[in-house]
Structure 1
Amino acid sequence: MNTLVLQLDEKTVQYLIQTLKEHRIQSTNAYVRFAAKFKQVTILIYASRKVVFQGKNASAVAQELGYKPAVHNSNQDNIKNEQDCPLIGSDEVGNGSYFGGLAVVASFVKQADHAFLRELGVDDSKNLTDVKIKQIAPLLEAKLPHKALLLSPQKYNEVVGDNKLHNAVSVKVALHNQAIFLLLQEGCQPDKIVIDAFTSPKNYQKYLKNENNRFLNPLTLEEKAEGKYLAVAVSSIIARKLFLDNLDELSQKVGFNLPSGAGQQSDKIASQILKTYGKLGLETTAKLHFKNTKKAYQLLKKE
């Protein structure tokens, strides 16, 4: 049996899924996102966007679908890049959501972990379904050194806002710094530390001066780092699960299905929480400095 493996971008994967939807078959592999049988060739699309063609005519079918098999370079997987070293990656989830806490995770990943992570389908949490995240995160938590911090809405509201200890940026600096510091304290020795950029390096260093727990290791803030570094992607997945679990717990506590994000649905739910529990209901479930709070009060007045 001939096997051809391609790594495709998300846009191309979506096109391929659309093209093969009438030939879809079931797959028991938890890591397979989509499977199809086309002209006696089995085509498997993994969550990592790796696409495998299996069958006697694998190369021909791939070419028919528009993908020319590249000459395999045995050195391809060993090309030195910026993440081929022990690395700590840090990311946060919940920053843009009105309801729920703010989750920050720092993870330590070595090159020896890369094959496991890619086979698992590790990717930026925004590219994975919540179901997939809840499947993958426990496996990552069990295998990789990491530190996960959750700032609950109630604690968030105590420290973030006008005339309080933090603003929306400085609180993230504090949490990222603490998560990385704790990981280093446990003996992790990274060659590089990367944070998914949420502010400028200059701004980060300005707020960092207020933190007591400091480390000397240099760190880098990079935009879209979760798509460049597996360590950051791991942190984004664990943080997403932590945020979702917190959102579920808060939903059960108040009896409302709290949505992620900060759209109109959040305004409507917030107004109902105000009606039922008063301001205390929002203080324990939402980030009060968001504009949604004002909109919720306006909706309540209209009732």
Structure 2
Amino acid sequence: MSNVVHKLTKQQIDQLMSKISFDTTNVSQGMKAKTKYKNTSISVYNSNKVMFQGKDAESIASQLLPNVVPAKKNTAKSSNSQQAIQYNRYNCIGSDEAGSGDYFGPLTVCAAYVSKKNVQILKALGVDDSKRLTDAKIIELAEQLVTFIPHSLLTMNNDKYNEKQQVGWSQVKMKAVLHNEAIKNVTQKIDTEELDYIVIDQFAEAGVYKRYALSELPFNSKTKFETKGESKSIAIAAASIISRYAFVKHMDNLSRSVKMEIPKGASNKVDLTAAKLIERRGIAYLDSISKKHFANRQKAENLVQKKHK
């Protein structure tokens, strides 16, 4: 048995806990959460350290924390980033998602095709890593991109998300299925003879993605997986902007419908908002607009109980 320990930020821990189900109640002192995933024990501590224990501890850590733990370069299942492909010189489909680390709101996935002749146009528009852009800029860019970029945008609403999670689907599996479906949709809209690469913003090892995708990958030999893909492929950046746009618009509409700001992410502010919604509309309504397995749900219930003691 091997042990792997990583020190994470709070945001990285929230993202990890959104991917698979954790037990946050039956834990030892000093421990925040624990779970068993593919025969690997995972323990999250209050110190923000995460321990993976098991014979596959290293590969599981790499799968669940692709932006923290680099995949081994000597394996075919690792990211192809060591090849240093200059994707913006080629015709590419890129795919990315939004909402996976957010308690409220759906999971949105977009695949977008950017031909090499359109790369400079997108750069001139200001297409960049969506994490660097304001919501207003994302909306502005997305509303332009969807008019001329072949794309497919898929949304898994909260009811469907919770249903899949309840029957054992991890968030990684949900994303793999949606990415693969969106990519297939885009291949129906373009001349695939001109397609050079399909680039997926990596959220799991290639082998895991292919196992979860439920159907054959279109153009498997052309498919690449890249960590921090938005900085390597403008097609991924475009897909990220469109998927983020859909998520932002959903959140704006949700805020208007409940007449209060619904925050993004999974912070303490989210806990407080969820607690208010439980008091105003009940737990069933909260579940209908959120991802039930996030720790925020229990924290919100605890806040309500504490208030009424």
User: Does TM-score exceed 0.5, indicating one fold?
Assistant: yes
Aligned with 2:172 (options 160, 169, 173): 169
1:229 to 229, 233, 247: 233
5+ unaligned residues in a row in structure 1: which ranges? 1-79
TM-score by length of 2: 0.68
Task: Quote the Cα distance in structure 2 between the aligned partners of 1:297 and 1:135.
Answer: 37
Alpha-carbon distance in 2 for matches of 1:124, 1:241: 13
Aligned equivalents of 1:194, 1:272: Cα separation in 2: 41
Query: 1:85 Cα shift?
Result: 1.2
- Structure 2 letter corresponding to 1:102: L
Give a deviation string over 1:19-77, Cα, whole Å, max 9, x none: xxxxxxxxxxxxxxxxxxxxxxxxxxxxxxxxxxxxxxxxxxxxxxxxxxxxxxxxxxx
- How far residue 215 of structure 1 moved from its aligned partner, in angstroms, is 2.3
Q: Which amino acid aligns with 2:248?
A: L
Matches within 5 A, 1:134-173: 134-161=139-166, 164=167, 166-173=169-176
Distance in 1 of aligned mates of 2:301 and 2:148: 45
Q: Relative to structure 1, is the Cα distance of residues 179 and 188 closer, same or farther in structure 2, using a 3 angstrom cutoff? A: farther
* Alignment RMSD (CA, Å): 1.5
Partner of 1:60: none
Give the residue type in structure 2 aligned to 1:101: P
> Which amino acid letter does the alignment assign opposite residue 181 of structure 1?
K
Aligned residues: 220
Aligned CA distance change for structure 1 residues 89 and 188 (closer, same or farther; 3 Å): farther
Shift of 1:213: 6.3
Q: 1:100–1:247: 8 Å Cα contact kept in structure 2?
A: yes
- Measured against aligned partners, the alpha-carbon deviations of 1:249-296 in whole angstroms (never above 9, x if no partner) come to 122222321101000000000011111111221122111110001101
Indicate the percent of aligned positions where both proteins have the same amino acid: 38
- From 255, 260, 263, the equivalent of 2:259 is 255
Contact 2:88 2:119 in 1 (8 A): no
Contact 1:178 1:213 in 2 (8 A): no
Shift of 1:212: 4.0
TM-score normalised by the chain length of structure 1 = 0.70
Specify every segment of 5 or more residues in structure 2 that has no aligned partner in the other structure, as ranges: 1-84
- The answer to whether the aligner puts 1:186 opposite 2:189 as a matched pair is yes
Structure 2 counterpart of 1:105, one-letter code: C
Name the residue aligned to 1:38. none
Amino acid at match of 2:148: K
**In the alignment, structure 1 residue 101 sits paired with structure 2 residue 106:** yes
Of 290, 294, 300, the residue aligned with 1:296 is 300
1:167 CA drift (Å): 1.2
| Distance in 2, Cα, partners of 1:248 & 1:203 | 34
Q: Which residue in 2 is equivalent to 1:82?
A: 87
Is 1:282 aligned to residue 286 of structure 2? yes
SS of aligned partner of 2:154? strand
Residues 114, 234 of structure 2: 8 Å contact kept? yes
Tell me the distance in 1 between the aligned counterparts of 2:168 and 2:271: 27
Report the residue type matching 1:206 in the other structure.
Answer: R
Contact 2:86/2:232, CA 8 A, preserved across alignment: no
